[in-house]
């Protein structure tokens, strides 16, 4: 395909966690078809293999490896795979995460909190730690963390998830300030509810259908609909672009206007 210079990733090495489905799988396809060489990780080995087979069949150069982002060893190994196979790491997307358990704060429990922290916070922290270690010596790098609109404001019935996603933004901004001198840019993306398996798989409350739950989610959006995955991934591609060389420390809402209220 012909490539717009703004969105040309030819020869760039891009690492993506949570690549078995949803944003991760779509982003892998979009970066790969724009010339990136990929390193993909996910705890879902079967889904990861399907993504890898599909993209490999399209001629995209990639390596895939099981990665549980709650394990520092796994996160370090995925970065090591990129450096070993491709010699560097240009772009890293900390996308892997888990859905919010729906409960008011006074009904939430420590297990819910620990689970959110283990995956949605530790997963980004471990990724950042080892991605930065690879990028600092080379004097360049781009990191994108997937937060949520719940990381920018309150999230009724998803308070423990909101706390975790606020932490992602705190890590993003700190890493951006600490590493700007090394020409490493770190940003976050904050989507509203999007029709990915994470959202469509949320268990609705008793007596409420999945369709009714999604309609309720959409009711608070000025566009009166949930996002399509491609709409969020398009913004992710832009934030990963080497051409956005003066953008760092930002948390971009992709939310149909929700945060404009």
CATH of residue 86: 3.40.50.720
Catalytic residue among 161, 190, 229, 240: 161
Query: Which one, of 130, 20, 38, lies nearest residue 82 by Cα?
Result: 38
Contacts of 219 (CB under 8 A, 6+ apart): none
Q: Residue 203 falls within a domain, yes or no?
A: no
The encoded tokens of residue 161 equal 């998830």
Is 225 contained in some domain? no
What is the pLDDT tens value at each position of the chain, 261 positions in all?
556 888 999 999 999 999 999 999 999 999 999 999 999 999 999 999 999 999 999 999 999 999 999 999 999 999 999 999 999 999 999 999 998 878 999 999 999 999 999 999 999 999 999 999 999 999 999 999 999 999 999 999 899 999 999 999 999 999 999 999 999 999 999 999 898 888 888 777 888 888 888 888 889 899 999 999 999 999 999 999 999 999 999 999 999 999 998
Q: Please compute, for residue 151, the number of CA atoms within 13 A of its CA located in the half-sphere on the CB side.
A: 26
DSSP classification of residue 117: I
Q: Which domain holds residue 83?
A: 5-193+230-253
Any domain includes 223: no
How far apart CA 124 and CA 93 sit, in angstroms, is 9
Residue 246 known to be catalytic: no
Residue 205 lies in a domain: no
How many domains does one find in the chain?
A: 1
Q: CA-CA distance, 93 to 181, in Å (whole number)? A: 20
CA–CA separation, 126 vs 113, rounded Å? 18
Question: Model-level pTM greater than 0.75?
Answer: yes
* Rg of the chain over all Cα atoms, to the nearest angstrom: 18
**Residue 208 domain flag:** no
Does 9 map to a domain?
A: yes
């Amino acid at each position: 395909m012909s490539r717009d210079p703004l969105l040309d990733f030819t020869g760039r090495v891009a690492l993506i966690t949570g690549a078995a489905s949803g944003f991760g799988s779509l982003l892998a396809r979009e970066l790969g078809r724009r010339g990136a060489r990929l390193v993909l990780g996910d705890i879902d080995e079967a889904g990861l293999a399907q993504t890898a087979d599909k993209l490999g069949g399209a001629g995209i150069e990639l390596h895939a490896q099981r990665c549980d982002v709650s394990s520092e060893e796994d996160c370090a190994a995925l970065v090591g795979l990129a450096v070993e196979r491709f010699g560097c790491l240009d772009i890293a997307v900390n996308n892997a995460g888990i859905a919010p358990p729906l409960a008011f704060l006074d009904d939430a429990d420590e297990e819910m909190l620990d689970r959110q922290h283990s995956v949605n916070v530790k997963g980004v922290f471990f990724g950042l730690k080892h991605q930065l270690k690879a990028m600092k010596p080379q004097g360049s790098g781009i990191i994108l963390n997937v937060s949520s609109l719940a990381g920018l404001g309150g999230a009724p019935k998803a308070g423990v998830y909101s706390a975790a996603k606020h932490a992602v933004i705190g890590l993003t901004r700190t890493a951006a300030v600490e590493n700007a001198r090394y020409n490493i840019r770190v940003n976050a993306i904050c989507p509203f509810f999007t029709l990915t398996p994470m959202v469509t798989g949320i268990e609705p409350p008793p007596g409420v259908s999945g369709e009714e739950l999604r309609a309720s989610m959409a009711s608070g959006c000025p566009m009166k609909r949930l996002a399509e995955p491609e709409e969020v991934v398009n913004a992710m591609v832009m934030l990963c672009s080497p051409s956005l060389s003066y953008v760092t420390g930002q948390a971009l809402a992709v939310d149909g206007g929700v945060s404009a209220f």
